[in-house]
Structure 1
Amino acid sequence: MTALVPLPVVMPLLGAALTLMLAGRPRAQRAVSLTVLSATLLVAAVLLVVSSLRGPLVVEAGGWVAPLGIVLVADQLASLMLVVSAAVTLAVLVYSIGQGMADGDEETPLSVYHPTYLVLTAGVTNAFLSGDLFNLYVGFEILLVASYVLLTLGGTENRIRAGTTYVVVSLLSSLIFLTAIGLVYAATGTLNLAQLAGRLDALPDNLRLMLQGMLLLAFGIKAAAFPLSAWLPDSYPTAPAPVTAVFAGLLTKVGVYAIIRTETLLFPGGRAADLMLVVALLTMLVGILGAVAQSDIKRLLSFTLVSHIGYMLFGVGLTSAVGLSAAIFYVVHHITIQTTLFLAAGLVERRGGSTSLDRLGGLARMSPLLGVLFFVPGLNLAGIPPFSGFLGKTGLLQAGIDAGGPLAWGLVAGGLLTSLLTLYAIARVWNLAFWRTPHADMPADTSSGVMLPRLMVASTAALVVLSVGLTAVAGPLFDLSSTTAADLLGRTTYVQAVYPDGAP
């Protein structure tokens, strides 16, 4: 089974090379991309089952033993993230194919889009499977280089401007990450995560805190945590709908994943936990206050994206099994929900000619299905029972109550307020865009029964069903996240999988 571990990285890279050779043949490119991502999803599901039953699967690339060689580790956390990321990337690909076919491929040039999209997927999966800090850095750089291309597709002025901001911020975070890697190696003589778990414990507290702070700073920029999140609402909304959706659903969560991995494995119970709780509270509140002030659906959703990163940091910062378990559950929930809402926003733009709330109205009457596709994930994001958003937030709030203390109680209050304001923001979108009388500036053909492309609707509906399905399997998913959290906090399972005879 260990032979399956590299496949989620290798298959998208091979698929990217093949689609590049098939430039000018869009049907062949679509077939290759769909086949590759479907196979990636299947492999990820197998890895999740096997890692849950047998423990982490480890591969030493090229036969080079750790710590000299590249180590890929598929434990429960990595495998779970692989499954969710593969599912949403496949759904977004189908959506983008439907959009391309409807637009005559003018919006997204397929000869560039498919290879870049598959490279992005390979970068994400490599980051999840990486067993050392430098390979994690490589995974980030692969996905970031691909994201630069996807963000500026079409070459419009707004996209180039947004892409420039994104590039500058990403290069800054990469520079900080690379500097931290150099300092970690200088202090410990290794970058292998399993080996670092023991060696970092032996360092002086001040040096260890400095290394932890630098890594948190780098990952905090990538995760769009406050005050490092100002770049996101200006960058994401300008991209094509499928690109914005996959960015919103996945890219910030790779940063959250890196925080979870390093905080539990390298810095358990670190002194930065209280700081992380403060950052989590500010991220929730500043993000949601920004959301309620927006008059554009994409920008509003971008601010809610920032806000709900705070919930994940809340769970990690508690440094408890209950908090970490709820955070992992919430990451899975949020990847699915945020992707779905941005795809629905793309349908709103197509049906109403805009995502500005000042220029929309009557969409629920014109397209009842579109109303459902936005309304259900919107309620889920707001945490309305019995959806998974409610269950995830309940778990986080319960963990905060169990932890006690002023900071934890402040996070509980902040989480409740953020949830209420999220509901207000979603209700405002519903009232203005879907419920009120159609605005005079809306295109005239929206009142004549314009049909939305079936593939775009089908892929969005599939993610809506998946998001509702998370509620149906919430019990087993919480059990999985609980065992994952226990393994992460224990560290022994991960270290022994890489070094059965003990880390040198």
Structure 2
Amino acid sequence: MNALVPLPVLLPVLGAGASLALLHHPRIQRWLSLGVLSAVVVIAAVLLVEADRSGPQTVWIGAWPETLGIVLVADRLAALMLLVSAVVTLAVLAYSVGQGMTEDEEGAPISIYHPTFLVLVAGVANAFLAGDLFNLFVSFEMLLFASYVLLTLGGTAARIRAGTIYVLVNLLSSTLFLISIAVTYAATGTLTLAHLTQRLAELPDHVSLMIQLMLLTTFAIKAAVFPLSLWLPDSYPTAPAPVTAVFAGLLTKVGVYAILRVQTLLFPYSPLTDLLLCAALLTMIVGILGAIAQSDIKRMLSFTLVSHIGYLILGVALASRAGTAGTTFYVVHHITIQTALFLVLGLVERRAGSTALMRIGGLARIAPLLAVLFFVPAMNLAGIPPFSGFIGKVGLFQAAQADGGWLAWTLVGAGAVTSLLTLYAVAKTWAVAFWRTPLEAHEALEAIGADAAVPGHDTHARQHRGHVHTAQGTVSRTDIEEARRLEDDDAPDRDFHKLIEAGEDNRHSPLGMLVPAAALVAVSVALTVVAGPLYALGTRAADDLHDRTAYLTSVLTEEQP
């Protein structure tokens, strides 16, 4: 099965080239992209079965000398991440196709979107499979190049502004990564991870520590670990819904994966536990405090994304098999949940015309299916039992309790508080956006002023002054006043809701967008059903990471002459 290892990278790259050649045939582009990602899902599933059954699957690319060789390794962790990323990217692509069919003016141009998206998928897959630092660097550059294009699709001022911040931050992290690679090669003469496990141990402690800190800083920026996370909440919310979904679900997790791989494989005896625990603590607390202060659902979810990175870093920081197993399970959970929530939020934005809490209401009555699709992953994100979020947090808390240190116990308390505050944030969102009536939304908007309702969106507010968004479209203030008068007159046959439902611009959720979002929500629920086997797989992956024997044997015995 070693021959299958390069295919999750090779197929999307070839698909991107073919898609680019088919710029004037968007229908063929769509089917080509969907076919490529479907094939990647199947291949990733086969690789996971083989890695779990027979050990890591390894392949060397090209006839390079051993210190310069390009090696791809699909062990249990890499194959699991590859499968999860393939499933969510397939769902996001299908959602994008559905959104494109609606001819949404904010939507991405299909001719550019598909090849760029496939390059992003190839970069993510290559990052999970990379067996050397330089190939990992190339992987990040592939996915970042694609993300620059996807983030600024449409060319709006907000997207260009957010894209500028995103590009500058990632150029800084890429430069630091390149410097780290140069220092590592100068000190050891190799960049292959399997060789580095041996040669880093021979270096003076201060040199090894410097390399470790440089790599950790690089990956912490990409993973949005506090205080290197300030760029994320301003960058992600401006992108189109499918782009935001794949960014939130995958890109930060690639950084977490890199931290986990480097810490367990290269620096197992220098875990920097206290430093990483402090970073996890601050990431949790600062992220969730930012979330509960938001009045826009996109920004709220972006801040919760930051806060839940803290749970993942907690498992890494503990440097134990139990902590690594908890992180492995939780990263699978969080990729799925976060992507599903942003896809559903795209449907909310299309139906209500906004994601600002002060501008929407009544969605639970008007679109009950959409309300359920948001409620289920939101409760999962908050860690309500028996969902997978609860199981993952319990596993991480048990690992922290086994550690026994005061910092680890502090993280248990902080994690519980973060979970409660997450519940508060999503419950507030549900109560405001889904449960209250459009009339209550309008009255709240009137109370605080239209411009204050949407911080940072003054132009949008001015364009809609005199109107209020509802679950059925945009209704003028004159209609609202008439509705209030009718309610005061106790006219049941001409009540407020009937007037709202008679409004123009009635929007429905396109089936092409609704089905992929619902499917991903169903996958998130399925994680709870298969939590036992999945956690057991994560435990076996953690055993491999801490033992290292299977990984090193696979790479070094397959090495080219």
Helix, strand or coil at the partner of 2:319: coil
Q: Contact 1:121–1:143 (CA<8 Å) still a contact in 2?
A: yes
CA RMSD after TM alignment: 1.4
Q: Contact 1:9–1:122 (CA<8 Å) still a contact in 2?
A: yes
Give 1:450 shift.
Answer: 3.3
User: Is 1:453 matched with 2:516?
Assistant: no
Q: Distance in 2 between matches of 1:254 and 1:433?
A: 32
User: Is 1:371 matched with 2:428?
Assistant: no
Give 1:269 shift.
Answer: 3.2
Give 1:121 shift.
Answer: 0.4
Q: Distance in 2 between matches of 1:262 and 1:80?
A: 17
Q: Distance in 2 between matches of 1:490 and 1:173?
A: 30
Q: Which residue of 1 aligns with 2:554?
A: 497
Q: Distance in 1 between matches of 2:400 and 2:420?
A: 18
Q: Which residue of 1 aligns with 2:307?
A: 307
Q: Which amino acid aligns with 2:124?
A: V
Q: Distance in 1 between matches of 2:42 and 2:94?
A: 17
Give 1:492 shift.
Answer: 1.1
Q: Contact 2:363–2:371 (CA<8 Å) still a contact in 1?
A: yes
Q: Contact 2:366–2:472 (CA<8 Å) still a contact in 1?
A: no
Give 1:451 shift.
Answer: 1.9
Q: How does 1:186-205 map to 2 (within 5 A)?
A: 186-205=186-205
Q: How does 1:257-336 map to 2 (within 5 A)?
A: 257-336=257-336
Q: Distance in 1 between matches of 2:346 and 2:392?
A: 26
Q: Distance in 1 between matches of 2:49 and 2:66?
A: 25
Q: Which amino acid aligns with 1:298?
A: K
Q: Distance in 2 between matches of 1:86 and 1:66?
A: 30
Q: Contact 2:314–2:411 (CA<8 Å) still a contact in 1?
A: yes
Distance 1:145 1:311, change over 3 A: same
User: Is 1:470 matched with 2:527?
Assistant: yes
User: Is 1:442 matched with 2:442?
Assistant: no
Q: Which residue of 2 aligns with 1:82?
A: 82
Q: Distance in 1 between matches of 2:216 and 2:279?
A: 11
Q: Distance in 2 between matches of 1:279 and 1:36?
A: 38
Q: Which amino acid aligns with 2:528?
A: T
> Sequence identity of aligned pairs in percent?
64
Q: Which amino acid aligns with 1:58?
A: T
Helix, strand or coil at the partner of 1:82: helix
Cα distance per residue 1:325-379 (max 9 Å; x no partner): 0000000000000001111111110111000001011100010000001000000
Cα distance per residue 1:212-261 (max 9 Å; x no partner): 00000000000000000000000000000000000000000000000000
Q: How does 1:27-426 map to 2 (within 5 A)?
A: 27-64=27-64, 66-103=66-103, 107-426=107-426
Give 1:155 shift.
Answer: 0.3
Helix, strand or coil at the partner of 1:267: coil
Helix, strand or coil at the partner of 2:73: strand
Distance 1:29 1:275, change over 3 A: same
Cα distance per residue 1:436-486 (max 9 Å; x no partner): 111331158445463210011101100111000001111110110001001
Q: Distance in 1 between matches of 2:520 and 2:333?
A: 11
Give 1:207 shift.
Answer: 1.1
Q: Distance in 1 between matches of 2:223 and 2:560?
A: 30
Q: Distance in 2 between matches of 1:426 and 1:488?
A: 35
Give the alignment's TM-score, normalised by structure 1.
0.98
Q: Distance in 2 between matches of 1:501 and 1:172?
A: 36
Helix, strand or coil at the partner of 1:442: strand
Helix, strand or coil at the partner of 2:15: helix
Give 1:274 shift.
Answer: 1.2
Q: Distance in 1 between matches of 2:105 and 2:424?
A: 37
Q: Which amino acid aligns with 1:336?
A: T
Helix, strand or coil at the partner of 2:326: helix
Q: Contact 1:209–1:271 (CA<8 Å) still a contact in 2?
A: no
Distance 1:399 1:503, change over 3 A: farther
Cα distance per residue 1:178-221 (max 9 Å; x no partner): 11111111111100000101111111111111110000000000
Q: Which residue of 1 aligns with 2:452?
A: none
Q: What is the total number of aligned residue pairs between the two structures?
A: 504
Helix, strand or coil at the partner of 2:155: coil
Q: Which amino acid aligns with 1:148?
A: Y
Q: Distance in 1 between matches of 2:157 and 2:558?
A: 57
Q: Distance in 1 between matches of 2:559 and 2:120?
A: 35
Distance 1:465 1:298, change over 3 A: same
| Higher alpha-carbon Rg | 2
Helix, strand or coil at the partner of 2:102: helix
Q: Contact 1:213–1:272 (CA<8 Å) still a contact in 2?
A: no
Q: Distance in 1 between matches of 2:471 and 2:550?
A: 61
Q: Distance in 1 between matches of 2:244 and 2:559?
A: 44
Give 1:66 shift.
Answer: 3.3
Helix, strand or coil at the partner of 1:182: helix
Runs of 4+ in 1 over 6 A off after TM superposition: 501-504
Helix, strand or coil at the partner of 1:103: coil
Q: Which residue of 1 aligns with 2:449?
A: none
Cα distance per residue 1:54-89 (max 9 Å; x no partner): 000110112446333210001111100000000000
Q: Distance in 2 between matches of 1:326 and 1:454?
A: 36
Cα distance per residue 1:71-115 (max 9 Å; x no partner): 000111110000000000000001111111012676211110000
Q: Which amino acid aligns with 2:289?
A: L
Q: Which amino acid aligns with 1:348?
A: V
Q: Distance in 2 between matches of 1:304 and 1:340?
A: 14
User: Is 1:488 matched with 2:541?
Assistant: no
Provide structure 1 residue ranges, at least 5 long, that are not aligned to the other structure.
Answer: none
Cα distance per residue 1:1-56 (max 9 Å; x no partner): 11100000000000000110100211000000000000000000000000100000
Give the alignment's TM-score, normalised by structure 2.
0.88
